[in-house]
Structure 1
Amino acid sequence: MAVNKALILCLSFACSVFAGNVLAADDAKKAPSPAQQAQQERMKSCNKDAKDKALKGDERKAFMSNCLSGKTESAAPAAEPATQQNKMKTCNKEAGDKALKGDERKKFMSDCLKG
């Protein structure tokens, strides 16, 4: 009888440790990456637009495909960082062409990036 209790106790402990590890792994998986968050936002925006346009069936599928790939207006917020990135490249090139250094370069970059 003591062996059975010990065995049950060991199995209970093993199960609780295993369950704890599984729960910890689930917690780690729940935090989406920035790319996943952007895709989720794009999905919400595209779904809302498709609903507003009352699209159904193949028409909705085609719209969603285009929207999620950035071929429609709904994807415009996701395209904004690319615009900022292009601005940064242009400003960096101009600062390099002018051979700006130190505080002078910082001021130029700040003014350039503001538009």
Structure 2
Amino acid sequence: MYRFVTVTLLALFATSSFAATCEEQAADKKLAGAKTSFLKKCNTDAVSGGCTAQADEKKLAGAARNSFLKKCETDGKAAHAAAGCEVQAAEKKLAGAAKNSFVKKCVTDAGMQ
């Protein structure tokens, strides 16, 4: 359990650092209308790469590897969405129940896209 929590926290921090890197890459490329699409793909690739490394570390193969990768990528996207929603709530200066409600709705909306 401790290892799982550690790996999850590391993935969350790595994802947030990849998000900053993706933002920098988008700024360097001076993307106009394609910025949102680029950021979405960049962040997905960042999560996917971390999951592949974890699967390699665990020496998974076949169906077990595919199942692990699918779950890991889904969890990574959810964590990334939650982090983004927390940032948006902070920008809007929400607190208490309003913040919790906003973050919950934001994460739900992000999962449907």
* TM-score bin (small chain): 0.3 to 0.5
Larger of the two Rg values belongs to structure: 1
TM-score of the aligned structures, taking structure 2 as reference length: 0.42
TM-score of the aligned structures, taking structure 1 as reference length: 0.42
**Larger RCO, structure (CA 8 Å, separation 6 or more):** 2
